[in-house]
Structure 1
Amino acid sequence: MVSLRRSLFGALALATAVLGQVSSFCASGDGNVCAAVNVPSSGTDTYFQVKGSTNSGWVAMGLGSAMAGSLIFVVYPNSNGRNVTVSPRLGRGHIEPQYQSSIQITLLGGSGISGGIMTANFKCSNCRDRLSVTSTRQDFIWAAGPGTEITSNDPSETITQHSDNGNFRLDLVRATGGDTTNPFVTASGASPTDTNQNTTGGSSVAAPQSKADKVLIAHGVIMALTWVILFPLGAAFIRLLSGRLSNAFVMHRTLQLFNVLLAIVGMSMGMWTSGLNGTHFNHFHKYFGVVLVGMLFVQAALGQLHHAEFQRTGKRSPWSYAHIWMGRTVIILAIINGGIGLGPSLANASSGQIAAYSVVAILVVVTYTAFYLLQQRGRSLETQKRSAGPQRRRSTGTQRR
């Protein structure tokens, strides 16, 4: 009996020791994503566990605070749908992470699919240099797919953009030790992270923004402000308010030149971010954006020709109409291109952000159009009055004679 008690106590102590070296986290978002880490006391191996719902199509955890530069482990069902494929990938920003064949992954026991939950227990033999094993607040990221079914043994299988994601931190000091060939499966075959005995050293944190993220946001804000608000305002000064403002032309030219500089700055920010992520000119939005900014220089030249001719003759010339209609066309196309940039393949803006952008853009276009039509109607009535005046005078003279 004493021997049995000692054996049970020893087994419980061993299990507790092993469980005590696993630091884990479960996300509150979609996909039921859970992640756990164990760092052996010696060697270069690191053990990971990733869990998530098969309804997501794929789930992932990454080593880092943002996609760009993070080593990401993507997990999805294998070809027979009974086990999983673990794909180590390098995050390159807001695009699909790229498979890294140099990362040495070994799938361990306890992995598989049960009850609609994917479990991947695996060892990485050359990942430790990406972790600060003495950190009590190591940054990680997680993500869950949009539900697109994947069953593949190919670690470079294409995945669609995540529907949910977030950040968390783990205490790797508490996760260090308990040297074993599989810290996620006990001698009985049970998964420690399925019990209440495991050490949970994880905490959910607000997603920190990288420099590239901040520059990308600045790019979007500057371009939206420039194209949706400021360029139409500059056009309104000379086209709609010239009769009400004594210096309308000076205000028009000054503001539009300032807007051109803002557009160049905004474009440069977008190009810098694309270069950092390795996504230079891989989307229509980027090509078209550069073309639109280039057209601003043509527009400025047409404006100068129009102004010079108007000062000489006091009348509009073909340069005038080319300048006016090219300006309107470029602004509308740029507003549309901005909406494209907010889409899921680029900025992946929320539905609220897209709705706000759309409402403001529509209000600006409708307001400008309404003022333009009212102005044209006023000019038409003025022309009719002028033409009717001589006719009335001629008619009066005839009656007198």
Structure 2
Amino acid sequence: MKSRSMLTSLLLSLLGTSCMLIANGEPVQYCKFGSSNVADAEVDFCVGALMYQNTSSNTYDLYLTLTVPRHHGSALGWTAIGVGTVMDKSLMFILYGDPLGHKDPIASIRTTTDHHQPTLLTQQDMPSGMDLRVIRASWLADDIYTEQGPDNATYTAWVSLVCYSCHLWHGTDISAQSNSQPWMWAWNAKQKFDVFSFDAHLEMHKHHAGAGGWGNFYLDMSRSIRTAPSPPSLPPIRPQVTSVGASDTPMLFAGSIVKMTVGPDLGSYVHGLVLTITFLSLLPGGIVALRAGGPKSFHYHLTIQLCGSFLIFLGLGAGLLKSRKINTIHQWVGIMLTSAVVIQGLLGWWHHRAFVRLHRRTWSSYLHIWLGRLVMIAGWSNIVTGLLLRGYTRGSPLVAISIVIICLQGVGLSWWKFWSQREQAKYVPTPSWTKEDDDTFALSITDDEDDQMEEKDERDEIAHLQRQDSRRSIDRN
């Protein structure tokens, strides 16, 4: 009982911590990872954003981080992002500069009307109460220490800024509550600047949409809202993560469905959804189905767990097809989990045969139980690590909600184990060889093998088969 109380306290503590994490949002991110080849160059940038609810001024501040790589030390061209779907009255953030010129990159903040040349934003252009501050603008060399020398290295422009009371902008609407805030990007890969000034003339981007000239993307700003008393840190850029709370299409309900079913992340959605349903619904449901008792509870349990095993194989296949290589703990744990499911099935079959013949547990029974416990715990853990690999931060609501559900299931299965044992003790005599330490509980694909009700079902099945054999013998006589 003492260890059960400690386990329950630990799970409830994790539950409380997770609920606190839900109160704060997470930065959203959108990236276009383009080609660095000169012949077929594509736009290459990342943007991270969050909205801070400033309680002192009762306004929303926009925190923004923008990165743009420059390959081979190139000083050509510019890259820009802006709020809205068109240039007219958009608030634009434009980056350009020379990574080998010993000066910081230029972060030029501009606006325009219609489709004219964007002009530098001044304090007079902003509404009362709104302000803009560039917090950081610097070049970072990614591989300057290679043998090719600095001229062949890749440099990344990092710019971070804060737009105070940004929702007051009188042009394109900037809403902290929007779950599909429109943004646009544009670039020119070939312009040669005479001088790198904040109001330098910009040559036109290509007219066609896509990687060639311009495009749109959408951010879930409501997901990023921070409400903590102190201002947040600048949003990070997660390496190799294409999107977090972002999309190339409006994130309405139908748009989300389209993205999940026909987008490039289909394999990731199938992998995550299938395995989450399996470990948070099917496998625990199979355990509860058997512990509920009844003449068919064992068969219900077996059917549910077979379906769960099939979905585990399906989820593994989707994940492997999506992955280019296997190099994370999450992937290796998933492969070992799938292998353990196969072993679990063989151990369960061996246990059933031995129990029918000997009417008692054998080594395979206990190995089956303990391996099943490890499978469930590892599966739960892999749900969280999968979300982290997907780009969600440790404090993101989705990660916190997942931890809450896992903790609730752990507490629920512990309580169910205790309750079912107490109820069975009232009506079913417990043989000495079936007793189990009260401080343990089975969390496994076939944890029901550890239950007296299952043993009773199996004995009833054996008696039924024996009666059938007796009837056949009488008929033959």
The TM-score, its normalising length taken from structure 2, stands at 0.44
Question: Is residue 120 from structure 1 mapped to residue 96 from structure 2 by the alignment?
Answer: yes
| Contact kept in structure 2, 1:49 and 1:119, CA below 8 Å | no
Larger-Rg structure: 1
1:235 to partner: Cα distance: 2.3
283 and 201 in structure 1: CA distance in 2 versus 1, 3 angstrom threshold: closer
> What's 2:75 paired with?
106
156 and 298 in structure 1: CA distance in 2 versus 1, 3 angstrom threshold: farther
1:57 to partner: Cα distance: 11
Per-residue deviation, residues 362-393 of structure 1 (Å, max 9, x unmatched)? 22221111111122234455578999xxxxxx
> What's 2:280 paired with?
228
Whole-angstrom CA distance in 1 between matches of 2:44 and 2:351: 68
Question: Is residue 310 from structure 1 mapped to residue 355 from structure 2 by the alignment?
Answer: yes
Quick one: which amino acid aligns to residue 290 of structure 1? I
Quick one: which amino acid aligns to residue 392 of structure 2? N
Per-residue deviation, residues 194-245 of structure 1 (Å, max 9, x unmatched)? xxxxxx987554613473323212211111110121111112223x12x33x
1:156 to partner: Cα distance: 4.7
| Contact kept in structure 1, 2:275 and 2:312, CA below 8 Å | yes
| Contact kept in structure 2, 1:237 and 1:251, CA below 8 Å | yes
Q: Percent identity?
A: 21
Whole-angstrom CA distance in 1 between matches of 2:157 and 2:328: 18
| Contact kept in structure 2, 1:285 and 1:341, CA below 8 Å | yes
Per-residue deviation, residues 243-262 of structure 1 (Å, max 9, x unmatched)? 33x21222222211111110
Match of 1:287 among 332, 335, 340: 332
Match of 2:345 among 296, 300, 323: 300
Question: Is residue 364 from structure 1 mapped to residue 409 from structure 2 by the alignment?
Answer: yes
Structure 2 SS opposite 1:59: strand
Whole-angstrom CA distance in 1 between matches of 2:352 and 2:155: 58
Match of 1:182 among 185, 193, 209: 193
381 and 48 in structure 1: CA distance in 2 versus 1, 3 angstrom threshold: closer
> What's 1:320 paired with?
365
1:346 to partner: Cα distance: 3.6
1:182 to partner: Cα distance: 3.3
Quick one: which amino acid aligns to residue 268 of structure 2? L
Per-residue deviation, residues 325-345 of structure 1 (Å, max 9, x unmatched)? 2212211111012111111x4
Superposed counterparts of 1:381-396, under 5 Å: none
370 and 105 in structure 1: CA distance in 2 versus 1, 3 angstrom threshold: same
Question: Is residue 256 from structure 1 mapped to residue 285 from structure 2 by the alignment?
Answer: no
| Contact kept in structure 2, 1:219 and 1:270, CA below 8 Å | yes
Name the count of aligned residue pairs.
Answer: 259
Quick one: which amino acid aligns to residue 106 of structure 1? A
Superposed counterparts of 1:43-192, under 5 Å: 59-60=66-67, 73-74=68-69, 86=70, 88=71, 105-107=74-76, 119-121=95-97, 152-153=140-141, 154=144, 155-156=153-154, 168-169=183-184, 181-182=192-193, 190-192=199-201
Per-residue deviation, residues 128-157 of structure 1 (Å, max 9, x unmatched)? xxxxxxxx9xxxxxxxxxx99975443457
Structure 1 SS opposite 2:323: helix
Structure 2 SS opposite 1:106: coil
Whole-angstrom CA distance in 2 between matches of 1:300 and 1:148: 57
1:359 to partner: Cα distance: 1.6
> What's 2:422 paired with?
377
1:318 to partner: Cα distance: 2.8
Per-residue deviation, residues 179-204 of structure 1 (Å, max 9, x unmatched)? 97439969xx83246xxxxxx98755
335 and 385 in structure 1: CA distance in 2 versus 1, 3 angstrom threshold: closer
| Contact kept in structure 1, 2:77 and 2:191, CA below 8 Å | no
| Contact kept in structure 2, 1:305 and 1:319, CA below 8 Å | yes
183 and 256 in structure 1: CA distance in 2 versus 1, 3 angstrom threshold: farther
Quick one: which amino acid aligns to residue 273 of structure 1? K
The structure, 1 or 2, with the larger RCO (C-alpha pairs under 8 Å, 6+ apart) is 2
156 and 230 in structure 1: CA distance in 2 versus 1, 3 angstrom threshold: farther
Question: Is residue 342 from structure 1 mapped to residue 318 from structure 2 by the alignment?
Answer: no
Whole-angstrom CA distance in 2 between matches of 1:122 and 1:46: 18
211 and 293 in structure 1: CA distance in 2 versus 1, 3 angstrom threshold: same
256 and 380 in structure 1: CA distance in 2 versus 1, 3 angstrom threshold: same
> What's 2:376 paired with?
331
Quick one: which amino acid aligns to residue 96 of structure 2? A
| Contact kept in structure 2, 1:48 and 1:122, CA below 8 Å | no
Quick one: which amino acid aligns to residue 291 of structure 1? M
Question: Is residue 211 from structure 1 mapped to residue 255 from structure 2 by the alignment?
Answer: no
Structure 1 SS opposite 2:406: helix
Whole-angstrom CA distance in 2 between matches of 1:248 and 1:156: 63
The TM-score, its normalising length taken from structure 1, stands at 0.51
Please list every run of 5 or more consecutive structure 1 residues that lacks an aligned counterpart in the other structure.
1-28, 36-42, 61-72, 75-85, 89-100, 110-116, 124-135, 137-146, 194-199, 388-401
Whole-angstrom CA distance in 2 between matches of 1:361 and 1:226: 13
254 and 285 in structure 1: CA distance in 2 versus 1, 3 angstrom threshold: same
Quick one: which amino acid aligns to residue 275 of structure 2? M
Q: Give the aligned CA root-mean-square deviation in angstroms.
A: 5.1
157 and 272 in structure 1: CA distance in 2 versus 1, 3 angstrom threshold: farther
Whole-angstrom CA distance in 1 between matches of 2:371 and 2:326: 25
Whole-angstrom CA distance in 1 between matches of 2:182 and 2:194: 24
